[in-house]
Structure formats: C-alpha cells, structure tokens
C-alpha cells in the first residue's frame, strides 16, 4: 500500500546566519537551530515547527516527505504514480508577504517541476521509499505532497464486477467482455490502449447451413475488448495497458478457463457391402440396392458404419456434433459416360438445410452414427465412392451469448468400388473396400468450417 | 357471409390468445443436442419455447390453417407450408415440411432423412406429376428420438424435386412412412394438399 510519511533530517551542520531584522514567528519553517527547542511544536515524524523567531538561526533540520510505493506491482515490476506537491511562501523578514507558489516555482523530490496541474508522474519500483518533498527557492515556505498510483482497472462489462488482480473462473466459449479504466488526475487522457489476450481467443464463430466461419480478429486497442476463449488454462493473465504522460501503465486480470472433459468413444463396426440389406430400406420401406458402409441389419437391429458415443462430461452444457467432409463418387454408366459427383461441406445427415448432426435414437444414451450409402442401379456398371469426414464434437456453455467451441474431433474415411454383375437383377459386387482405419476421438480446438452443405451432390455431367 | 368470417376470425383470435397463455400447446423444434445436465436442458427448452411462440408453424394444427396438417398417424402429424401460394414457373419454390410428435410420449422416427419424403403433385386434371428422378445418397442416423411435442422441420426445393411442366394450378402434398413404436409395420403419414398457382415466367396474369 503506497503511503506518504513525514520525516526530518538532522543535517548535523551548524551554520550561522545573519540576524533577522524582524521578529516574527513561523511554523513550518524548514530550518531551525538544532539546539534551540524554545518554541518548538512537535508535528510528528521527528519534525518540529518553530514559532519563536530569533536574531540568529542555523540550517539544521529539514522537513521531508517520504513516499512508500507499496507492495508488488501487478502486470509489471513498476508502477506509475501521479504525485502532486504544493508550497506556500511564508512571510520572512527579508521577503515580506505570503503566496501560493506556482508549480513552476517548486520541485517535488528528485522528480523535477510538476506540470501546470501540480503533478509529476514517476514510474517507481514496488517496495521503495522516495523523497517527494516540495522544494522552493525561498527561505520560508510550507507545503505538502500527496498522490496516487495511476492504476489500470479491469472490469467485466457484463456484470460490472472488477476483475483487477483477481482470478476469475470462466468456461470456454463464454463471452469475455471487458473494459479498463485508468485512474489519472483530470484532465489527462490516457492514450495507446492495448489489450494482451493470450491463448486461443477468437472474435466469434457463426454457423449456419450455408457456412461455418471463425472470426479470429478482435479489436485490442480500445478501452474494451470482447472475445471468446477456445482453449482452457489456469491463471491466464489478460492485461490492459495505456500511456499516461508518456509512461506505460498496465492492469492485469487472471482467468482460469474451464474446458469440458468429455468421455467419448468411437467405433467403426460396419462393413462395406453392395446389396439391399441396408437400414434405410427397412425403415423407409424401400428396396434399393446400395453401396454402403455399415447399416446392415440383423433382425430389428443394425450395425452402423461408424459410431460415436458420449459417456460423460464434467461441465454442464449442450454437446453436439458437426460433421464436415468431402464425398466423391464416380459412376460409369452403360451409355459410356462417367458421371462424377462431388460434395463438400457440412453434412447433417437428415436435412440439407440444417448443419447439426443429430443423435441416433436407435441407441440408448447419446450416440451419433453414420452409415453412408449410395444407391446402385443397372444403368451403371462401375461405381466408386470415396469419402473423408471430420466429425467434430462441440460444446456450448450455458452463459448468455456463449458460442460453440470444438472439444474433440474424429477424422475418418471410407472408400469402395462396386461393379455390376447382373444387370437383370441389379446385383453388384464390391471389388475394393477401405473402411475407416481405427478412428479415434482427439482433443481439438479446430473449428469446423464450411461454405456449403455437402448435399445435394453436384454431378458432372448432371445425372 | 361477412358475419361468419368475422366470427371465425374472432374465434381464432380468442383461441390464439388462450393458447398463447398455455405454454404446453406449442410444438418445440427438434433439438439435436445432448444434455447431460438438467439445468442446461431446461434452459434450452425455455429458449426454444420463446422461439416457438413466435412461429405459426409451432401452433397446433387447428390454429395453423396454412400448415396443411394431415391426420395424426401413430402419434405423428405432417404439415406442408409455402411462403405464398403463387410462384413463377422456373423460379425457386421453397417448401417447408414439418413432422411433429403430437403425443406426450417420446416417439421414434425411422429413416428421418429428407429423402424419405415423397411429394405428390396433381394438376387441374388430377394427373400425378412425376418426381424428378433421383439417386439416393444416404447418410446420417437411422432414426431420431422425438421427445413429446417436438417437431422436425425440413426445407425442400420443390422446383428441383418435381417437374412442373407448365403454368397452372397444382395441388401438392407430402407423405412418408412411419412406424409405430409397437413395431406393427409401416403406416403412411401425409400432409393435406396445398394449392399452388404457377404463373408464366414473363406474365403476371393468372392462368
């Protein structure tokens, strides 16, 4: 805690001076005869005022104001202080009259002449004591000193709570909306505001069926800053700095950013086949022949191609899947034309006008799965399908204005080629098949991005 | 006639006010997310309810005459709506198809893919127009678990699904199969027919 104290220094000298012609008493004279106690008034701190004027005095004792800069600084090793000093010239035999001295007529400690508002600005180390005594080039004057730390304070704009020098716990995706203030004597205006936000922080993430876009940049040179953290951390320090009288001041707030620890499994139990034993046929009442990865039925159950199961999480908030990828199919037709279908983007598996990949109600708990397939007809003789996907697990905090953040991702792919073996009965044979190779969920901070929905597949030439 | 219309309007309005005060009558959007906590789920439900209150399509069928809601089959109901009943031939015709669980129990919708929707179009002479030939590209879940009074919304580019040969008046409805949770086979679920007028591309007069 910064503090001002008054002390007096006994210089040990005993220099004589000329007799003062006018017997007049002054308190707060900064000099008196060391051995002369007649008329002393104790002012504390070892200082005396002296209200008896003699015909002789020596410069023995000096009034002094010390300033202790306080404990450890935050954000940097130094602090900026605004120190003001005032001095009033007192009447003396050789200089009649009293008046308030202008700032230009005084100095404050070793910091020079104050500005026109009476302040000097000094960057000082913590835990240091410095002399801030106002000095004037007159024999008799009184004065004082005071001041304050020029402190940058950081606040939560959503709640109004001050966060300076504290550690605040937040959740990934939670909107962090901060502003900082600088306590500086008017009318000084701080300049060059600068926020430092470490970690993976973004401006926004906006997802729709048409696009998933990460907005990375956010303004860091204003008095406020708005962003979202994607990654977790403990005691991550955000600083706001500004320049006051050419000197940099820094405020700091620390954050512990919690990120959900989600237990999730991935399996790829499905087989690649070309037949009508595909779950869609059973459920939709159709009888198409499909080239499919997974989805084979047995009784009332089926085996999905790939299956993602959420087991637990330690932070409440909705979890959901977004699947993006690339699908390519090459269909050689009986007319000699090869049709190539390509789809890129988000794939929600149900409606090409939505982007969140829904859970499968066929399983208890929270399970998403995929069993991609393409219908086969005897108008074609050779069909090759090659897909690669990333299935992202997203989390959205329950706080107002929170955005979704990626938690895990699973990269997986499958490819196969089927050839028509009986045009009459539309029978196909799989001649090559590559199912996903041991797909595993990995922790991820990579956002899914897309600029269109994977469906409908775009065919060249048009089918 | 005017009196009857006015009374009907007043009746519908009063019914709407009554329903607006009862939050249990709205159909909330299907929520594809996983909730491990009760609080997050309740919070999401409240947001969805506020969303649903603003949309006519979330009202019960009797309060949504533009929804072309069909009969309740195995607890499901299907509706079809257009932003207008007049389009220009050759320009986009966006349709919204909604399937809802009208019960207070969870229901399972099998084969929830948009590909499961069949579009039936008749013109003035009752001919059924063919759907555009399609190659099925299926992915996604085999079924969706519908909690009580939830609904799933599909957006269909009707002009790409159906070949409309000429300007005229068409009646369109959508159907698909649903399966009772008891597993007693597939049953047809459909909307009622919506009437569309397709104007010639370079003209504004009605055919």
| ∠ Cα B142 B147 B149 (to 5°) | 125
Mean pLDDT within B58-83: 95
Distance separating alpha carbons of residues B118 and B178, to the nearest angstrom: 12
Q: Chain B: nearest CA to A328, how far in angstroms?
A: 11
Tell me which residue range forms the domain holding A82. 3-149
The ipTM estimated for the assembled molecules is 0.85
| Tokens at A231, concatenated | 């990654």
Share of chain A above pLDDT 70, in %: 84
Nearest to B34 among A310, A347, A457 (CB): A310
| pLDDT tens sequence across B1-33 | 344 444 444 444 444 444 445 556 899 999 999
Check if A288 contacts B (Cβ < 8 Å): yes
8 Å CB contact of B135 and A374: yes
| Beta bridge partners of residue A252, listed in sequence order | A239
Domain count, chain A: 3
Asked whether residue A247 falls in the same domain as residue A115, the answer is no
Which residues in chain A touch residue B154, judged by CB atoms under 8 angstroms apart? Answer: 351, 353
> Is the domain of A362 the same as that of A391?
yes
- B-facing residues of A in 309-348 (CB < 8 A) are 310, 312-313, 316-320, 327, 329, 341, 343, 347-348
Q: What is the mean pLDDT of residues A209-232?
A: 97
A110 and A191 share one domain: no
pLDDT digits (tens, 9 = 90+) for A280-302: 998 888 899 999 999 999 988 89
Structural domain total, chain B: 1
Rounded Cα–Cα distance for residues B121 and B193 (Å):
9
How far apart CA B171 and CA B158 sit, in angstroms, is: 12
The residues with which A410 forms a beta bridge, in sequence order, are: A391
Nearest Cα to Cα of residue A312 among A368, A259, A263: A263
Phi, psi of B129 (to 5 degrees): -85, 145
Contact: B115, A359; criterion CB under 8 Å: no
A residues 236-255 near B, CB within 8 Å? Answer: none
Q: Do the Cβ atoms of B140 and A312 come within 8 Å?
A: no
CA distance A51 to B60: 95
CATH of the domain at B103: 2.60.40.3880
> Do A167 and A142 reside in the same domain of the chain?
no
Please give the Cα distance from B185 to B187 (Å, whole number): 7
Contacts within 8 Å (CB) and 24+ apart, B46-49: B49/B23
- Domain check: are A126 and A88 in the same one? yes
pLDDT classification of B135: cutoffs 50, 70, 90: confident
In a domain, B192, yes or no: yes
B184 and chain A: CB distance < 8 Å anywhere? no
Do A228 and A95 fall within a single domain? no
Mean local confidence (pLDDT), A420-427 = 95
Tell me: do A141 and A188 sit in the same domain.
no
Any idea which of A141-155, A264-278, A404-418 has the lowest mean pLDDT? A141-155
This prediction's pTM: 0.84
Question: What does A194-258 look like in DSSP terms, one character per residue?
Answer: EEE--SSEESEEEE-SS-EEEE-----SSSEEEEEE-S-EEEEEEEEEEEETTEEEEEEEEEEEE
- DSSP type of residue A42: E
Q: Tell whether A272 and A341 lie within a shared domain.
A: yes
CATH number at residue A222: 2.60.40.10
* End position of a domain, from candidates A258, A283, A308: A258
Tell whether B138 is covered by a domain.
yes
If asked whether residues A198 and A289 sit together in one domain, one would say no
DSSP B159: H
Q: Which two tokens stand for residue B161?
A: 């699904």
* The last residue of a domain, from among A258, A274, A293: A258
Backbone angles phi, psi at B8, to 5 degrees: -65, -40
Give residue A56's pLDDT band: very low, low, confident or very high (50, 70, 90): very low
Check whether residue A338 and residue A317 sit in a common domain.
Answer: yes
B144: in domain: yes
With CB atoms and an 8 Å threshold, state whether A300 touches B183: yes
Instruction: Name the 3-class secondary structure at B48.
Output: helix
DSSP A45: T
The pLDDT value recorded for residue A412 is: 98
B151: pLDDT strictly greater than 90 = yes
Are A253 and A271 contained in the same domain?
no
- Per the document, the length of chain A is 463
Among chain A residues, the shortest Cα distance to B39 is held by A316
What pLDDT shows up at residue B18? 47
Average pLDDT over residues B123-135: 73
Q: How confident is the prediction for chain A on average, in pLDDT?
A: 87
CA distance A367 to chain B (A): 9
A374 and B43 within 8 Å at the Cβ level: the answer is: no
In a domain? residue B31: no
Domain termination site, one of A149, A176, A198: A149
- Distance in angstroms (rounded) separating the CA atoms of residues B45 and A462: 43
Other residues' Cβ atoms within 10 Å of the Cβ of residue A297: 16
For residue A8, what pLDDT is reported? 60
**Is residue B163 a part of any domain in this protein?**
yes
Structural domain that includes position B143: 61-199
Task: List the Cα angle A338/A340/A346 in 5-degree steps.
Answer: 165
Query: Nearest CA to A162 among A179, A175, A149?
Result: A179
- DSSP class per residue in A427-444: EEEEEEEE---S---EE-
- Evaluate whether A172 touches A159 at the Cβ level (below 8 Å): no
Burial of B84 (0-12, 13-18, 19+ CB in 10 A): exposed
**Least trusted range by pLDDT, from A10-19, A239-248, A258-267, A444-453:** A10-19
Mean pLDDT over B41-47 rounds to 91
Q: Are A179 and A224 in contact (CB under 8 A)?
A: yes
Q: Report B:57-96 residues touching A (Cβ under 8 A).
A: none
The partner residue sitting opposite B32, judged by closest CB among A359, A372, A374, is: A359
Model confidence band, residue A388 (pLDDT cutoffs 50, 70, 90): very high
Pair A193, A327 in one domain: no
In 10 A of CB A67, how many CB atoms? 24
Q: Is residue B117 in a domain?
A: yes
Above pLDDT 90, what percent of chain B? Answer: 63
Q: Considering the domain boundaries, does residue B34 fall inside one?
A: no
**Does position A19 have pLDDT exceeding 50, yes or no?**
no
| Vertex B125 angle, CA B121 and B128, to 5° | 30
Q: Are strands B94-101 and B76-82 parallel, antiparallel or unpaired?
A: antiparallel
Task: Give the Cα separation of A40 and A35 in Å (integer).
Answer: 11
pLDDT score, position B104: 93
pLDDT, residue A37, reads 64
* Segments of B11-50 assigned E as strands: 28-29
The residue of B39, B108, B141 whose CB has the most chain A CBs within 10 angstroms, and thus the best one to mutate to test that interface, is: B141
Q: How far apart are CA A294 and CA A274, in angstroms?
A: 10
């Amino acid at each position: 805690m910064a503090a001002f104290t008054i002390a007096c220094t006994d210089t040990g000298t005993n220099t004589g001076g000329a007799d003062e012609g006018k017997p007049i008493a002054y308190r707060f004279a900064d000099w008196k005869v060391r051995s002369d106690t007649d008329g002393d008034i104790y002012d504390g701190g070892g200082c005396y005022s002296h209200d008896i004027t003699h015909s002789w005095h020596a410069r023995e004792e000096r009034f002094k104001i010390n300033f202790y800069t306080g404990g450890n600084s935050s954000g940097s090793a130094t602090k900026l202080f605004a120190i003001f000093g005032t001095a009033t010239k007192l009447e003396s035999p050789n200089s009649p009259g009293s008046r308030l001295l202008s700032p230009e007529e005084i100095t404050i400690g070793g910091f020079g002449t104050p500005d026109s508002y009476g302040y000097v600005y000094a960057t000082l180390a913590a835990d240091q004591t410095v002399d801030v005594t106002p000095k004037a080039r007159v024999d008799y004057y009184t004065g004082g000193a005071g001041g304050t730390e020029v402190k940058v304070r950081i606040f939560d704009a959503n709640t109004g709570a001050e966060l300076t020098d504290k550690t605040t716990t937040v959740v990934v995706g939670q909107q962090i909306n901060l502003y900082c203030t600088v306590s500086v004597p008017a009318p000084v205006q701080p300049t060059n505001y600068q926020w430092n936000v470490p970690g993976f922080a973004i401006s926004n993430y906006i997802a729709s069926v048409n696009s998933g876009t990460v907005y990375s940049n956010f303004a860091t040179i204003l008095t406020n800053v708005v962003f979202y953290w994607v990654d977790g951390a403990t005691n991550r320090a955000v600083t706001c700095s500004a320049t006051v009288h050419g000197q940099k001041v820094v405020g700091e707030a620390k954050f512990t950013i919690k990120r959900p620890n989600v237990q999730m499994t991935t399996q790829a139990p499905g087989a690649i086949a070309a037949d009508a034993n595909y779950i869609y046929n059973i459920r939709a009442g159709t009888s198409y022949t499909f080239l499919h990865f997974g989805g084979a039925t047995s009784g009332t159950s089926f085996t999905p191609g790939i299956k993602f199961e959420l087991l637990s999480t330690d932070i409440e908030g909705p979890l959901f899947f977004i699947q993006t990828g690339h699908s390519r199919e090459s269909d050689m037709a009986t007319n000699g034309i090869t049709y190539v279908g390509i789809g890129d983007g988000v794939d929600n598996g149900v409606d090409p006008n939505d982007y969140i990949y829904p859970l499968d109600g066929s399983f208890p708990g929270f399970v998403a799965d995929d069993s991609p397939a393409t219908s086969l007809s005897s108008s074609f003789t050779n069909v090759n399908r090659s897909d690669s996907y990333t299935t992202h697990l997203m989390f959205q905090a329950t706080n107002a204005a929170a955005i979704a953040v990626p938690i895990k991702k699973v990269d997986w792919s499958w490819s196969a080629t089927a050839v028509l073996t009986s045009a009459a009965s539309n029978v196909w044979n799989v001649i090559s098949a590559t199912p996903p190779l041991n797909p595993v969920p990995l922790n991820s901070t990579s956002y899914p991005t897309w600029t269109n929905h994977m469906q409908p597949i775009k065919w060249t030439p048009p089918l | 006639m005017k009196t009857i219309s006015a009374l009907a309007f007043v009746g519908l309005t009063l019914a709407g006010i009554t329903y607006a005060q009862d939050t249990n009558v709205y159909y909330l959007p299907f929520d594809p997310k996983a909730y491990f906590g009760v609080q997050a789920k309740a919070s999401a439900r409240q947001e969805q309810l506020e969303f649903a209150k603003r949309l006519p399509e979330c009202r019960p069928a009797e309060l949504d005459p533009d929804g072309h809601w069909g009969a309740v089959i195995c607890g499901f109901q299907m509706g079809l709506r257009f932003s207008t009943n007049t389009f220009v031939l050759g320009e986009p015709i966006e349709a919204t198809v909604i399937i809802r669980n009208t019960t207070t129990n969870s229901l399972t919708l099998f084969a929830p893919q948009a590909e499961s929707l069949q579009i039936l179009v008749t013109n003035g002479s009752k001919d059924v127009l063919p759907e555009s030939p399609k190659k099925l590209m299926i992915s996604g879940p085999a079924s969706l678990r519908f909690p009580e009074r939830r609904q799933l919304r599909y957006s269909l580019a009707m002009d790409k699904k159906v070949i409309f040969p000429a300007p005229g008046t068409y009646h369109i409805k959508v159907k698909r199969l649903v399966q009772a949770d008891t597993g007693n086979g597939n049953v047809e679920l459909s909307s009622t027919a919506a009437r569309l007028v397709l104007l010639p591309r370079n003209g504004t007069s009605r055919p």
